[in-house]
Structure 1
Amino acid sequence: MAHISNLAASEQVFTSNVFLVDGDRTVLVDPGNEFDVVSKIESRTGGLDAVVLTHTHHDHIGNTGAVTEAFDVDVWGFDPDHDLVDREIEADTTITLGDHDYRALHTPGHKDDHLCFLRTDGETVFAGDLVFANGGYGRTDLDEGDHPRLVESIERLLDATDDSLDSLHAGHGPSIEREARHHIELALRSAQMG
């Protein structure tokens, strides 16, 4: 059974959350930035099969070179023209993380290349910087930020989920392990008012 660990949980640096999803296909979701993620991966698993990016802001990708050098893996992301992306993930493509299949949802607004990964059974989502716990949502004051598109993307994620969604793993802050859809609903209401 796949296990999801946040390797950045104890780090006090400018980084995103970094999720190691182990199982049949061990994958790192966002390598993070400014900490020794390679040692943390090595202490938990014998290897890595791929790196998957939610988006290409520096706090999510700063450690990418160290990870690809240590584990000789491809980096998967939405924008095939980005220097770090080896393999393109198109919208609505299914990819395997750990022991489960996930659907890639293109969710721009925070950044044009932003993806969320929703487990095909609907129980888990990697939300990147689209939504956070307790109704938070991604900034739109950065390059490529677009608040109306962010609201549309949150609506798209909400429409793709139902009450079976238990786990939400966001790019920053705590993960949610029950009633995760409620947090997306809160984020949508907040973003619509913002």
Structure 2
Amino acid sequence: MASHRSTAGYAEEAPDLFVRYEARDAAAIHAPWAEFLPKPPARILDIGAGTGRDAAWFARTGHSVLAVEPVDALRTGAAKLHPEPGIIWLDDALPDLTATRARGETFDMILMHAVWMHLTEKERAAGMANVASLLKPGGRLFTSQRHGPIPEGRRMFDISGEETIALAAPLGLANLYCERTGSIQAENMARGIEWTKLVFEKAS
């Protein structure tokens, strides 16, 4: 797949990202919205799976995961680092998710961790419609959005939780949880970086 503007900067930083992302505990990252996570075994779609940290955690806890990652250096490295049999790796990207949708699957849970803020307004509208179509009735979407200084070489937009809630509502995605908090990483905290975490449920 051709490099997408939304992934700018990630291939070059891949070795550093493996060190940084894998050093963080997945259980701690998902603790704020843990009460909304599905009980295993669920079918999970991890969009922008990065180094595979979250996909591997979900696989180890009894779920099966389709891990979608458009950056070759991240996807191939993640597949080697996390050889869990419960993970399938796929080269695909928002907003179209062409290869994902071609599989004809729907999911109990979709995770978009630190992905959404890379998309333009037009891409977000198309992406949310495609994501909604991949959720089972009663399935849940988990998304986190970054706020603060934009790293050099990255394409990023500051999107409010309210905007995402408004975009999801007409697609039958009801907001269950919305919280904006400071980063738990000391370096990011010092730079004033904050995150909005959101959970949606598709009408059944």
Same fold (TM over 0.5): no
Query: Which structure carries more relative contact order (alpha carbon 8 Å, separation 6+)?
Result: 2
Query: Which is helix-richer, 1 or 2?
Result: 2
TM-score by length of 2: 0.38
TM-score by length of 1: 0.40
